[in-house]
Structure formats: structure tokens, C-alpha cells
Amino acid sequence: MSPRAIRRLVLLVVSVIAGVVAFYLVPPPLPEITRGEFWDEVSAGHIRKIEIYDQAWILSQSTARGEFRTVFDKRKDAGLADELRSRGIEIWYSASPPGI
């Protein structure tokens, strides 16, 4: 086998191993729910805290349905934090400044 063929084989093996490792280490995305479903969970009292991630997603966990995500729109959701806080829900911000 030529040195070039050996390098290609090693590169192929390393790539396959890296792909397998990444497949098992990267968690699957959270299930996405609609805004209507989100408000149903809030109204039912199933949500205690939310995380606004990068001003693009709301990440949370419902006591009824488990972890989920839903879309966050900075303009449309300008009063969302105040509304949720008035219901006793904690708000956390990550990967972005807290100013909405």
C-alpha cells in the first residue's frame, strides 16, 4: 500500500470515528410546541421557569409534558417576561443580553 493510500485510509477511519462520537455526544433537539400549547401549559400551572435562549427560543420544562422549546420573537414578545413573572414564573436569559 502506498503512503498516500494509507493516509486516506487513516483519514477515513478517523472521520468515521469522529462521526460516531458526535452522534452519541450531541443531544437531540428538544420537542417543539406551538405558542398555543405553550400558553396552555402556562395557564395550567405546569411551568415554573423558562429560559430565553439567544433571544430566539423559549426553553422550558412542563410538569405534564417534559422539556420543550418554542419560538421567541423579540418584537412580538416584548411584554412576555412581565406577563410570565406576574404568574410566578422565573425567567432566565442565556447566550444573549437580558434586555428585550
Of the pLDDT bands very low, low, confident and very high (cuts 50, 70, 90), residue 97 is low
Number of neighbouring beta carbons within 10 Å of residue 42:
17
pLDDT at 19: 85
Which domains, and CATH codes, for the chain?
Answer: 35-94 (3.30.720.210)
Q: Retrieve residue 56's grid coordinates.
A: 430566539
Which phi-psi region, left, alpha or beta, contains residue 81 (left: φ > 0; alpha: ψ -120 to 50)? alpha
Cell 410546541 found at = 33
**Considering the entire predicted model, what is its pTM?**
0.68
Cell of 49: 421557569
Place of cell 422565573: 90
**Under 8 Å between Cβ of 55 and 72:** yes
Q: Is the CB of residue 85 less than 8 Å from the CB of residue 91? A: yes
- 16-59 confidence digits (pLDDT tens): 898 888 778 877 888 999 999 999 999 999 999 999 998 899 99
Q: Residue 69's beta-bridge partner residues?
A: 32, 59
What would the pLDDT profile of 46-96 be if each residue is shown by its tens digit?
999 999 998 899 999 999 999 999 999 989 998 999 999 999 999 999 875
Length of the chain: 100
